[in-house]
Amino acid sequence: MTKKQAAAEALKPRKTPLQQRSAETVAVVLEAAARILEQRGFDGFNTNAIAECAGVSIGSLYQYFRSKDALLSGLIEREVAPLLAVGEGLEQHSTFRAALKSYIGASIRHQMKRPKLARLIDVAEKREAFKSQVSGTTSRLQIIMEKMLSLPDAPKVPNHDVAAADLLALMRGLIDAAGERGEGESNELLQRTEGAVWGYLRSYAKKPSKTLRT
């Protein structure tokens, strides 16, 4: 096993909770991890504190999570789940506009529901240990956005893959910046983000891109 494979293996749950009681224990532990991270930051983020907050033994915690990095990995997965759910429910939206609004709304709720937690997870995602996991999530979000751009009423752009990557970066940048300024979830932020997306799409759909000459 290579170092990269070993690092990825260390982030995986020790076992998958198959029974409802086990799933509830994992959910309680992850919520405790979120609270400890919010309250104490990375310096105070450790398995003993999380087990105490969750009301479980350290042994019970280690049944599912090998380390605090494995807990962070679980939090990253938990927090991105609503965005991935938009892709799973894409067939519910018959238009690009409806799908886009749904995705932007989920993105804003994800960032603004617990802004401090969201910012700390953003920091964690930049660590080398989570590079592979984050890359996989980004690829899944890219697929969702490309599917949205394939809906019949979506603006016709030269390259779906380029547009999808740009839109993901644009939306995340705007929403993250709003969160850092202390903004909360609002229709006004939703409208601003939608406007920026449509402005980009109108510009990109006008004509094929040209190579800049220097």
pTM equals 0.81
What's the mean pLDDT in 104-123?
A: 90
Tell whether the model's pLDDT for residue 5 goes beyond 90.
Answer: no
Q: Print the domain residue range for 97.
A: 3-206
CB 70, CB 13: distance < 8 Å: yes
For residue 121, the domain's CATH number is 1.10.357.10
Tell whether the model's pLDDT for residue 195 goes beyond 90.
Answer: yes
Q: pLDDT-derived band of residue 207, with 50, 70 and 90 as boundaries?
A: low
Tell whether the model's pLDDT for residue 59 goes beyond 50.
Answer: yes
> For residue 212, is it within any domain?
no
**Alpha carbon distance 126, 3 (integer Å):** 19
> For residue 133, is it within any domain?
yes
**Per-residue DSSP letters for 28-89?**
HHHHHHHHHHHHHTTTT--HHHHHHHHTS-HHHHHHH-SSHHHHHHHHHHHHHHHHHHHHHT
Total domains in the fold of the chain? 1
> For residue 213, is it within any domain?
no
> For residue 147, is it within any domain?
yes
> For residue 211, is it within any domain?
no
Tell whether the model's pLDDT for residue 213 goes beyond 90.
Answer: no
> For residue 63, is it within any domain?
yes
Looking at residue 175, its pLDDT comes to 94
Tokens describing residue 159? 């390259």
